[in-house]
Amino acid sequence: MRRHAVLALLFAGVVAACDNPYAILPASITNRVDTVEVFAVNGTPLDKPSGYVMASRLPLRLGIDLAAYNFDFLYRIDATAGPQFVPYGALAPSTDNTSTSGRAGFIETATPFDAIREGEQVGYSVDEPVALSVGKTFYVRSGLPNGCYLGIPYYGKMEVISFDPAARSVRFRILVDINCGYRGLEPGLPEK
């Protein structure tokens, strides 16, 4: 009986989308806040994760994990600028001057992490590292392709929690909405 209810709900969603070809499917993946630790790409062993993939909401070990070059950003400690998150586009810049709307990036914000309710769509820094300090908060956007059938990025929010100088790591909390077409940045099922 439960299976029939699930199929009926899925069918209702598909029928509703047929009435409007631009409609998005109902959200089905719960937003959650994750606490993540990544290690500097420079000066730490390869078995430590240095990158982050928003589509899977997981850290990534560069050069070891299968999708090692499919990260949205990595962590490094610059000798002059200090701790930084580096979006993929800063390491592999576009050579054809195409739009930056489909590239991973950051927007620094003074809005507290818990007060951010919806992702920003424009204004992301996609080809420059961003400086980090404890308490800094960012809007974050994934790159493409990321699994969204609409061909648009995923959106999130992030706050730097702490640094471990001995381990050369950073801890941050992050919420990424991986429901295709949604930008809601509160825990639970998004409505936006």
pLDDT of residue 119: 95
Considering only CA atoms, which of 171, 175, 173, 172 is closest in space to residue 155?
175
Contact in structure between 81 and 42 (CB atoms under 8 Å):
no
pLDDT along the chain (192 residues), means of 10: 46 52 83 97 91 93 65 94 92 62 89 97 93 98 83 94 97 96 94 84
Q: What is the DSSP letter of 28?
A: -
Which one-letter amino acid corresponds to residue 27?
Answer: A
Alpha-carbon distance values, 43 to 47, 59, 85, 189 (Å): 12, 17, 15, 39
pTM: 0.83
pLDDT of residue 146: 75
Q: What is the DSSP letter of 22?
A: T
Alpha-carbon distance values, 146 to 48, 101, 123, 151, 189 (Å): 23, 13, 20, 8, 20
The residue extents of the domains of the chain are: 1-28, 31-177
Residue found under tokens 């509703």: 16
Burial per residue of 129-164, b for 16 or more beta-carbon CB atoms within 10 angstroms, e otherwise? bbebeeebbbbbbbbbebebeeebbbbbbbbbeebe
